[in-house]
């Protein structure tokens, strides 16, 4: 925390933010509705919230609920989920920047779509292995690592840069912060509780699979509906989904110059 405070105190504002502030000091920008009501009407806000909701929901299920479920309900050795998540997080130091680099090459939408589809496909086979004590601990840990990287860390790698690019320069900080925190609060706060209730009601691990699929579907739909935001001009005042034609023209022009 001390390092984070020091870093933020010595970190300059982004050039885009300073440019917008300087421009408004010289000549105030055209009137723009920055109220909460306008935010809730913004398509970009709800798409960003959906992307965050899917990733955070999967994170709460796998990193919080599933680890406890294996130990407390299925009586697994607590080292199995703990070590698996630790190893997976260490691997994230490679997979997260790799996916970020890849999204700079192919765009944000395609990796989001592929990761969410992969999480949906892998949910049942990975969970069926994870909850089965007949498998060797190494196999169970590998299954946790695979679903964790696809359903959580992979999406996290894309989340922050994509959400920042989805909002215009006038509202970027506020709308990104609210969509990120609101989506995470609801998904992580209520997801494990609901999973516990459903698992107790059914006496089965199937609700975990169903919720993983549901969260991934929310992320998938949001990714399918969002505009491509890679290489978007961050000085644009409008949110990305509110100016699709302009962004498409700019992106096409940039691609042709390449």
Alpha helices (H) in 10-108, listed in sequence order: 15-26, 36-41, 43-59, 67-68, 79-106
Give mean pLDDT, residues 204-221.
96
Q: What is the pLDDT of residues 135-168, one digit of tens each?
A: 999 999 999 999 999 999 999 999 988 988 998 8
Q: What is the pTM of this model?
A: 0.83
Instruction: Give yes or no for residue 210 having a pLDDT over 90.
Output: yes
Residue from 64, 84, 57 nearest 187 by CA:
57
Is the CB of residue 28 less than 8 Å from the CB of residue 22? Answer: no
Q: What is the pLDDT of residues 81-115, one digit of tens each?
A: 999 999 999 999 999 999 999 999 999 999 999 99
Spatial separation of the C-alpha atoms in residues 163 and 36, rounded to whole Å: 18
Phi-psi region of 32 (alpha: psi -120 to 50; beta: other; left: phi over 0): beta
Instruction: Copy the structure tokens of residue 103.
Output: 């999204």
3-state secondary structure 124-171: HHHHHHHCCCCCCHHHHHHHHHHHHHHHHHHHHHHHHHHHHHHCCCCC
Residue from 64, 78, 76, 72 nearest 200 by CA:
72
| Structural domains for the chain | 42-257 (1.20.1250.20)
How many CB atoms neighbour CB 58 within 10 A? 33
Q: What is the pLDDT of residues 41-64, one digit of tens each?
A: 889 999 999 999 999 999 999 999
Judged by DSSP in three states, 12 sits in: coil
Binning pLDDT at 50, 70 and 90, where does residue 4 land?
Answer: confident
pLDDT on residue 27: 47
Q: Give Cα separations from 197 to 124, 190, 257 (angstroms).
A: 20, 11, 55
């Amino acid at each position: 925390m001390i390092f984070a405070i020091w870093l933020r105190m010595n970190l300059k504002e982004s050039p885009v933010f300073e440019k917008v502030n300087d421009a408004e000091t010289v000549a105030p920008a055209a009137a723009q509705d920055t109220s909460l009501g306008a935010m809730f009407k913004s398509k970009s806000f709800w798409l960003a919230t959906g992307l965050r909701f899917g990733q955070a929901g999967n994170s709460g299920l796998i990193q919080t609920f599933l680890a406890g479920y294996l130990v407390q309900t299925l009586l697994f050795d607590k080292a199995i989920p703990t070590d698996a998540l630790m190893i997976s997080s260490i691997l994230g130091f490679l997979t997260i920047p790799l996916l970020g680099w890849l999204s700079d090459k192919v765009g944000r939408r395609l990796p989001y779509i592929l990761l969410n589809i992969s999480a949906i496909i892998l949910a049942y086979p990975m969970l069926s292995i994870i909850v089965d004590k007949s498998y060797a601990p190494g196999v169970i840990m590998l299954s946790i690592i695979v679903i964790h990287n696809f359903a959580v860390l992979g999406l996290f790698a894309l989340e922050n840069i994509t959400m920042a690019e989805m909002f215009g320069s006038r509202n970027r900080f506020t709308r990104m912060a609210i969509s990120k925190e609101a989506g995470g609060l609801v998904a992580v706060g209520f997801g494990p509780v609901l999973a516990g209730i459903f698992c107790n009601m059914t006496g089965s691990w199937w609700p975990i699979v169903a919720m993983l699929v549901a969260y991934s579907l929310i992320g998938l739909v949001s990714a399918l509906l969002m505009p491509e935001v890679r290489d978007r001009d961050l000085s644009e005042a409008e949110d990305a989904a509110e100016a699709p034609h302009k962004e498409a023209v700019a992106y096409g022009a940039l691609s042709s110059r390449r």
